[in-house]
Amino acid sequence: MNKIFVFDLDGVILDNLNEHRSCLQQFLEAHKISPTKKDFEDINGPNIKEIVKLLKTMYCLNYEESYLIEQYNILMRKVYTNSVLSKGVVELCEKLCNSKFSLALASSCKREYITFILDKHNLSNLFSFTASGDDVKKAKPAPDIYELVKKYFWEGEYIAVEDSDNGIISAKTAGMKVIFFNSEHRNANALFDYEVHSMEQVSELINYL
């Protein structure tokens, strides 16, 4: 049976959680609001439209949603322009490909950002399929984006690598095994199958999957 590894982008392929926190902080501070730790956990996973909708409701932001989305996008473009890869992720992807796994990417971010990142880091040839937030109506924690991956590959065994509660819930609801990529050693509130703290530990799991 075909085995498919499905990677999230932010916080998994990319080592950019601090940059995302900074983005959230800049966005809210522009409205004279100080973000909380829970704010970041809530917005880690959904797409920008869902993030803005959530923040607009939480903090009663008195602006058009389209304006807030554009303001958040301006900040996010800087995040992706300055992005760096998680340590060991290229080696892991190459090992998976050499071990006859298929690779997919399932990220809530915009298609243009995914394309930019894959081209910037020369990763495009490693992934058989990519799904973006532009491709689904409901963002994570809804299972839609992972169901899209399953529709592409049809039958197979799926292992998702996620770093957020929203992502874990999305993949598990779609019937996938989930590796919780916990680089920050935090407590997850969602159920997962394996927990790792580095790409090297993901690599060690391959023989057991």
50-95 pLDDT, tens digit each: 999 999 999 999 999 999 999 999 999 999 999 999 999 999 999 9
CA distance 162 to 144: 15
Q: Check pLDDT > 90 for residue 41.
A: no
**Predicted pLDDT of residue 209:** 83
What value does the mean pLDDT take over residues 118-126?
96
Share of the chain above pLDDT 90, in %: 88
Share of the chain above pLDDT 70, in %: 100
Closest CA to 140 of 130, 128, 129, 131: 131
Q: Check pLDDT > 80 for residue 1.
A: no
What value does the mean pLDDT take over residues 180-184?
96
What value does the mean pLDDT take over residues 152-172?
96
More confidently predicted of 179 and 155: 179
**Predicted pLDDT of residue 155:** 87
Helix axes 65-81, 111-120, angle to 10 degrees: 10
Q: Where are the beta strands (DSSP E) in the chain?
A: 3-7, 102-106, 129-131, 157-162, 177-181, 194-196
Q: Check pLDDT > 90 for residue 30.
A: yes
Q: What is the pTM of this model?
A: 0.93
Q: How confident is the model at residue 39 (pLDDT cuts 50, 70, 90)?
A: confident
Q: How confident is the model at residue 152 (pLDDT cuts 50, 70, 90)?
A: very high
